[in-house]
Amino acid sequence: MEIKRLTPAELLALHARVSEELRERKIVRSANNPTGDLAEYLFCEAYGWERAQPSHPHADATADNGEKLIQIKGRRWTQHNKSRILGALRGLPDEGFHILAAVLFSSDYSVKRAILIPHALVLKGARFIQRTNSWRFVLSDAAWSWPGVEDATERLKAVALT
């Protein structure tokens, strides 16, 4: 398929078909941008976690028979945006999760880096944003050197989609 020759309408139709196929394969759960759903899928595959119900306010996955709650975030880098700001964290001081699992994707959705961070370190490194009533966490390279974190990069790469 010569993608450059497709019209905008054909490109959008192709995008819709790809999105639906990923949903049928249970890689994504929503019709939204696939970054977050892909992050959830990869972490759950790599660690054997169960996906939480979509209605759970703070957790995307559970471990240890539901005893451990995990918030999962993904960020995709492109040539236009290399931001490391993860999606909004709501109710962070309420300890609605135990671990933040985060992955940075390359523009083609390949795993660049991934990490597991205990809640206390996320709370310490996050900043409250009043306008959105949420907490902002920037996933800097320094986070991989913090005590108590786990570099999850190789585990996610091992289950990455082929």
Q: What is the pLDDT of residues 116-147, one digit of tens each?
A: 999 999 999 999 999 999 999 999 999 999 99
Q: Are residues 55 and 122 in the same domain?
A: yes
Q: What's the pLDDT score for residue 106? A: 93
b/e per residue 6-33 (b: at least 16 CB within 10 A): eeeeeeeeeeeeebeebeeeebbbeeee
| CA atoms of 146 and 120, how far apart (whole Å) | 12
Is residue 26 located within the same domain as residue 48? Answer: no
Q: Between these two residues, 23 and 32, which has the higher pLDDT value?
A: 23
Q: 79 and 146 share a domain?
A: yes
If pLDDT is split at 50, 70 and 90, which confidence band does 162 have? low
Considering the domain architecture, whether residues 23 and 82 belong to the same structural domain is answered as no
Residues 71 and 143 in one domain: yes
Model confidence over 89-116: pLDDT tens digits? Answer: 988 999 899 999 999 999 999 999 999 9
**Residue percentage of the chain with pLDDT more than 70:** 99
Same domain, 28 and 38: no
114, two tokens: 């991934």
Report which of residues 66 and 46 the model is more confident about: 46
pTM of the full structure: 0.89
Range of the domain at 84: 33-159
Domain check: are 47 and 124 in the same one?
yes
- Higher-pLDDT residue of 118, 56: 118
State the total domains in the chain. Answer: 2
Residue 41 shares a structural domain with residue 26: no
The reply to whether 62 and 142 lie within a common domain is yes
